[in-house]
Amino acid sequence: MTKLEQLIDELCPNGVEFYELGEVSHYAKERIAASAIDKNSYVGVENLLQNKMGKTTASSVPESGVVIAFHPGNILIGNIRPYLRKIWLADCDGGTNGDVLAIQIDDESIIFPKYLYYVLSSEQFFLYDIQNCKGAKMPRGSKDAVLKYTIPVPPLPVQSEIVRILDNFTELTAELTAELTARKKQYEYYRTALLSLKDKSSTNMFPLYKVVNSISSGKNKTRLLDGDYPVYGSTGVIAHSDKYIYDKTQILVARVGANAGYTHIAQGKYDVSDNTLIIDVKDDVNLRYLYYQLCNINLNKYAKGGGQPLVTAGQIKQIEIPVPSMEEQDRIVEILDRFDTLCNDISDGLPAEIEARQKQYEYYRDKLLTFKELA
């Protein structure tokens, strides 16, 4: 029997009390001058992060008037577009506005702030909030409905043990995320170092058009949801088609818009959208070596235009690429592929591990927060 099971068996074997949120907490009422806050202590909907990821530094702060004050232990929930699932447990004093719900506990001898935060971070709460919101383009949650949401309130030792368990999960995810950030920096360093080919005196430099068979543009304009073959666009697979045009691995470059210059790879049987360039690489060049070189160059800087920046074949075909021996290309690709898998692979790498830990955390959070109601 686990410690939590022992506590439940001793302290609440027949179930726990359930309360409406408004019976144990209230919305913050205190107001402070806007001059008392800064970008680190101001929280608006804009700097609350989606999917329960906390907050970031505010890009702008009210310069006059008053704002709603919050304090450490308060729970802030974005009340516009609840489906974005924005929530943060405050760790400082600060200010917010009416688009953010600042929830303050009435009596911390009944319920711990961290425990309540975990309850309100559950998918069950956000689905409830979404069901009760109003509006189409910019749906807003119902403040009254939120206060009517029912929550289990077990004895404090049980709450404390649940918080300890869930904290362990979140700390592990945070460690993995920090590891991923460090690995990405390491990856970028080695990619730049390897691809710069310091001893260029023994390396031939070629314009891009001399190491590829062609640079053309896709032509597919259909956007089917179903179909046997993927249609690649500026950022990956964007649709499907009933027929394929290509049956070989090729490099794709986003041609237009905010993603202009983004480079990725298509393989198998597929078609390509009309907003994407297709680079067909010659057989005597390692395709993934050229792909890494183009990623390292950042083709977005070649985009021209204002509202709809554009990258064309003519703009990039003159870019000079260092082309060492095939043996050296293969060596570089082998090293960078390992980093790429570790940093970016969603099925085998740190992203996959983080996703698995997050799912595990959410499963146990919902399981731990499920109680029988006391008769």
pLDDT in tens, 140-156: 999 999 999 999 999 99
The average confidence (pLDDT) of the chain is 87
On whether both 214 and 307 belong to a single domain, the answer is: yes
Question: Stretch 27-39: mean pLDDT, rounded?
Answer: 94
pLDDT tens-digit map of 178-230: 777 777 777 777 777 777 765 555 568 888 889 999 999 999 887 777 788 99
| CATH classification at residue 62 | 3.90.220.20
Task: Give a yes or no: residue 255 inside a domain.
Answer: yes
Q: Do 243 and 318 sit in the same domain of this protein?
A: yes
Q: What is the mean pLDDT of residues 298-313?
A: 79
230 and 309 assigned to the same domain: yes
Question: Token pair for residue 150?
Answer: 């029912």
78 and 145 inside one domain: yes
Local confidence band at 66 (pLDDT 50, 70, 90 cut-offs): very high
Query: What does the pLDDT read at residue 345?
Result: 67
In a domain? residue 308:
yes
Sign of the four-CA dihedral 293, 296, 300, 301: negative
Same domain, yes or no: 240 and 133:
no
* Residue 184 placed within a domain: no
- Residue 165 resides in a domain: no
Q: Do 218 and 289 fall into the same domain?
A: yes
The widest CA-to-CA distance across the chain, in whole angstroms, is: 83
Range of the domain at 134: 17-153
**242 lies in the same domain as 319:** yes
- Report the C-alpha gap between 128 and 119 in whole angstroms: 12
The total number of structural domains in the chain stands at 2
In a domain, 247, yes or no: yes
Phi-psi category of residue 119: left, alpha or beta, with phi > 0 → left and psi -120 to 50 → alpha = alpha
Q: How many beta carbons lie within 10 A of that of residue 217, not counting itself?
A: 16
Least confident stretch, 52-56, 68-72, 133-137, 287-291: 133-137
**For residue 85, is it within any domain?**
yes
If asked whether residues 121 and 27 sit together in one domain, one would say yes
The domain boundary residue, chosen from 117, 137, 153: 153
Calculate mean pLDDT across residues 165-181.
Answer: 78
Same structural domain, 25 and 141: yes
Q: Within this chain, do residues 44 and 127 fall inside the same structural domain, yes or no?
A: yes
The token duo for 325 is 């021996």
Residue finishing a domain among 323, 343, 358 = 323
Same structural domain for residues 140 and 33? yes
Cα within 13 Å of Cα(274), Cβ side: 5
Residue 61: inside a domain: yes
Q: For residues 91 and 21, state if they share a domain.
A: yes
Look at residue 369 and tell me if it is in a domain.
no
